[in-house]
A and B are shown apart, each in its own frame.
Chain A
Amino acid sequence: MPDRRPFLHVRDVGKTFTVRNPSGSERVDALHHVDLMIDKGEFVCLIGASGCGKSTLLRIVAGFETPSYGDVRVYDSPITGPGSDRGMVFQDYALFPWMTVRENIAFGPRQKQKSRAEIQKTTDSYVEMVGLAKFADRYPYQLSGGMKQRVAIARVLANEASILLMDEPFGALDALTREQLQDELLEIWARTQVTVIFVTHSVEEATLLADRVVVMTAGPGRIESDNGVTLARPRDVSAPDFNAVRRNLTERLTSHVSRRRLKSAA
């Protein structure tokens, strides 16, 4: 019998920050009553202007921040902190600079006190998967941005995370490297069945990658719309139907921005 409980369930989550400034303190509604359900193996993109709370939501799912109200559950058990079932890939990599590629990837398995042989085997297979066999003994400073992000992805996968959280992971990369990593990510996703939550501000990136694109808006941060993307894979960015989806998403992303602009102009 299939498991009927939702895999990942964001239940009425809110987050309020207090920002101190010279004229006193101000409360900012980073997230306001957010509900979201994600199935196992889904690829979901969170997209929105800066300040819409997409990164905050991701950090709450990671367990790095606690929500002001509501909770996030994985198969009905609430998230209370960081855990090895969820792995984050940061925009600025956050690799351990004193460890080689191999040691970075082995970090998770090592925490689980597995046998040396087992750690070696897992590490080797993920080094291979991200195509860094030739660079396994290099330090992070000796790698390009694209290579560093491959290590960060492999580090999370080697830890047997079932949810891959990605916070604008390709934002700092050049266009060619970004395209290559997007392709590799899709390949890895297809091969490992991992669930991906991917924060981006690029509509094109979201359209290319996602099963679902969740559009978020700022002030207060909430979900504007949840859009399934049914385009067949592999997707062709120059195809007319791809363009249609992208245009639709762009409209959703900018609609209330322009509405608000009209309001303030009037």
Chain B
Amino acid sequence: MERLRNVLLGASFPLALILLWHMGVVASGTKLVPTPATVAVMMRDFAFGGVYDDAFSGTILTHLFASMQRVYGGFLLAAAIGIPLGLLIGKIALLRALLDPTLSLLRPIPVTAWLPLSMVFFGLGPRSAVFLVFLGAFYPILLNTVFGVRSVDAKLFEAAAMLGCDGSRMFRQVVMPAALPAIFNGLRLGHGFAWILIVVGEMTGVPTGLGSVIMDGRTLSRPDLVITGMVVIGVAGFLCDRLIVWLNNRVLAWSPQHRA
């Protein structure tokens, strides 16, 4: 019952926004912003075709899969490097002293600033997009993992040590599970950034992908196409985030305060 109420409440606000959008467009008589109905037609065409029958008709899956490949290519690469590196930096003071200043220096540089260099390194194409997504997802994953390792309750180490646990077993049996909530937090943040950065990543002149659809919409002066691309990214990012939350809640069943 409460669940239903929350769903209704959560849905009512965007519905109200759409209504406001419609009234705004109609009242102002602007030609620059399409009405929600126009966008809905575009979305139908984008998904199934049969309305405009142009280059974008019925191509949603092509673009969605292209984008998802880059989002998850970059995200998984960020996780595959960020988590082990974070565990090591968190545990080994020498490594922390060696790398922390460099990382702190690189971190504030916006991912968009890397765009020109990434095009030099990786050329015009999907590899550049993957690199930018990787950069965006990497820091939250790395930093949260380091934080997770650093903030393990010292008493748990003492408890494990007195029970005969040490060295690499301590790392595997105490440090990793204790850092898991923070690692998941980093993964969720990084995952969000990965979806945010896909548009930037696909500005680099790739022919497919939701970001390139938005860029095309801009050059073709088709705001309905731009908004359609935005909505698809939003919905896909949201659904994938729910998947991460579901996984989080399963793996962290032991920690009610980390349930999202």
Complex contact A159–B164 (CB within 8 A): yes
21 of the cross-chain contacts (CB-CB < 8 Å) are: A63-B162, A83-B162, A83-B164, A84-B162, A84-B164, A87-B162, A88-B158, A90-B159, A96-B156, A96-B174, A96-B177, A97-B254, A98-B178, A98-B254, A98-B255, A108-B163, A108-B164, A112-B164, A155-B159, A156-B162, A159-B163
Instruction: Give the docked Cα–Cα distance between A86 and B177 (Å).
Output: 25
Q: Which residues of B contact A21 (CB under 8 A)?
A: none
- Contacts A64-B158, A82-B158, A139-B254; is A94 near B153 (CB within 8 Å)? yes
Complex contact B164–A94 (CB within 8 A): no
**B180 interface hit (Cβ, 8 Å):** yes
Q: Which residues of B contact A86 (CB under 8 A)?
A: 162
- Contacts A90-B159, A141-B255; is A98 near B180 (CB within 8 Å)? yes
Instruction: Give the docked Cα–Cα distance between A87 and B162 (Å).
Output: 6
Q: Which of the residues B155, B165, B177, B253 comes within 8 Å of A94, measured between beta carbons? A: B155
Instruction: Give the docked Cα–Cα distance between A131 and B90 (Å).
Output: 39
A82 to chain B, nearest CB (A): 4
Q: Which of the residues B153, B165, B253 comes within 8 Å of A111, measured between beta carbons? A: B165
Complex contact A88–B156 (CB within 8 A): no
Chain B residue at minimal CB-CB distance from A84: B164
Complex contact A81–B255 (CB within 8 A): no
A161 to chain B, nearest CB (A): 8
Instruction: Give the docked Cα–Cα distance between A156 and B162 (Å).
Output: 9
**B161 interface hit (Cβ, 8 Å):** yes
**A92 interface hit (Cβ, 8 Å):** yes
Instruction: Give the docked Cα–Cα distance between A231 and B165 (Å).
Output: 40
Complex contact B177–A111 (CB within 8 A): no
List A residues 100-127 near B (Cβ within 8 Å): 107-108, 111-112
Q: Which residues of B contact A107 (CB under 8 A)?
A: 160, 163, 165, 173
Q: Mark A56-86, 1 if CB is under 8 A from B, else 0.
A: 0000001110000000000000000111101
**B218 interface hit (Cβ, 8 Å):** no
Instruction: Give the docked Cα–Cα distance between A82 and B49 (Å).
Output: 70
**B242 interface hit (Cβ, 8 Å):** no
Chain B: interface residue total (CB-CB under 8 A) = 21
Main secondary structure of the interface of B (DSSP, over half): helix
Chain B residues within CB distance 8 Å of chain A: 153, 155-156, 158-165, 169, 173-174, 177-178, 180, 253-256
Chain A residue at minimal CB-CB distance from B153: A94
Instruction: Give the docked Cα–Cα distance between A123 and B122 (Å).
Output: 57
Instruction: Give the docked Cα–Cα distance between A97 and B160 (Å).
Output: 13
Complex contact B255–A155 (CB within 8 A): no
Complex contact A94–B255 (CB within 8 A): no
Instruction: Give the docked Cα–Cα distance between A94 and B153 (Å).
Output: 8
Q: Which residues of B contact A156 (CB under 8 A)?
A: 162-163
Q: Which residues of B contact A139 (CB under 8 A)?
A: 253-254
Q: Which residues of A contact B173 (CB under 8 A)?
A: 107
Complex contact B164–A90 (CB within 8 A): no
Instruction: Give the docked Cα–Cα distance between A94 and B158 (Å).
Output: 9
Q: Mark A151-186, 1 if CB is under 8 A from B, else 0.
A: 000011001010000000000000000000000000
Complex contact A111–B163 (CB within 8 A): yes
Complex contact B155–A92 (CB within 8 A): yes
Complex contact B180–A87 (CB within 8 A): no
Q: Which residues of A contact B174 (CB under 8 A)?
A: 96
List A residues 185-208 near B (Cβ within 8 Å): none
Q: Which residues of A contact B255 (CB under 8 A)?
A: 97-98, 141
Q: Which residues of B contact A141 (CB under 8 A)?
A: 254-256
Instruction: Give the docked Cα–Cα distance between A155 and B178 (Å).
Output: 19
B165 to chain A, nearest CB (A): 5
Q: Which residues of A contact B254 (CB under 8 A)?
A: 97-99, 139-141
Instruction: Give the docked Cα–Cα distance between A161 and B164 (Å).
Output: 11
Q: Which of the residues A64, A87, A111, A161 comes within 8 Å of B169, measured between beta carbons? A: A111
- Contacts A139-B253, A139-B254, A141-B256; is A96 near B162 (CB within 8 Å)? no
Given A63-B161, A98-B255, 11 more contacts at CB 8 Å? Answer: A88-B158, A88-B159, A94-B156, A96-B156, A97-B254, A97-B255, A98-B177, A141-B256, A155-B159, A156-B163, A159-B162
B149 to chain A, nearest CB (A): 15
Instruction: Give the docked Cα–Cα distance between A111 and B165 (Å).
Output: 6
B156, B164, B180, B253 — most chain A CB neighbours (10 Å): B164
B156 to chain A, nearest CB (A): 6
A48 to chain B, nearest CB (A): 22
Instruction: Give the docked Cα–Cα distance between A62 and B178 (Å).
Output: 23
Q: Which residues of B contact A112 (CB under 8 A)?
A: 164
Chain A residue at minimal CB-CB distance from B158: A64
Q: Which residues of B contact A82 (CB under 8 A)?
A: 158, 161-162
Complex contact A62–B162 (CB within 8 A): yes
